[in-house]
């Protein structure tokens, strides 16, 4: 494994998913988040960065 594959990001859901589009809900669920305030560790890849960018108003990257 390369060093880039081992990098992890911690993301937190800061807003609820009510009245959000289905694609945005899917992105949040794909990141492993279900409830407000929940955190998840995800690997740092272009796909994950794209998902975070799409729902950036709902999630935040937590400093470790």
Span 12-39, pLDDT tens digits: 999 999 999 999 999 999 999 999 999 9
pLDDT band at 64; cut points 50, 70, 90: confident
The domain defined by 3-62 carries CATH number 3.40.50.450: no
- Please provide the distance, in angstroms rounded to a whole number, between the alpha carbons at the two ends of the chain: 22
Nearest residue to 43 (alpha-carbon basis) of 17, 15, 16, 4:
4
Question: Per residue, what are the HEC states of the chain?
Answer: CCHHHHCEEEEEECCCCCCCCHHHHHHHHHCCCCCCCCEEEEECCHHHHHHHHHCCCCEEEECC
Task: For the chain, give the mean pLDDT.
Answer: 93
């Amino acid at each position: 494994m390369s060093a880039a594959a081992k990098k992890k990001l911690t993301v937190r859901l800061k807003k609820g998913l009510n009245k959000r589009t289905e694609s945005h809900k899917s992105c949040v669920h794909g990141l492993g988040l279900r409830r407000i305030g929940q955190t998840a560790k995800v690997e740092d890849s272009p796909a994950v960065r794209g998902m975070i960018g799409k729902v950036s108003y709902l999630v935040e990257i937590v400093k470790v």
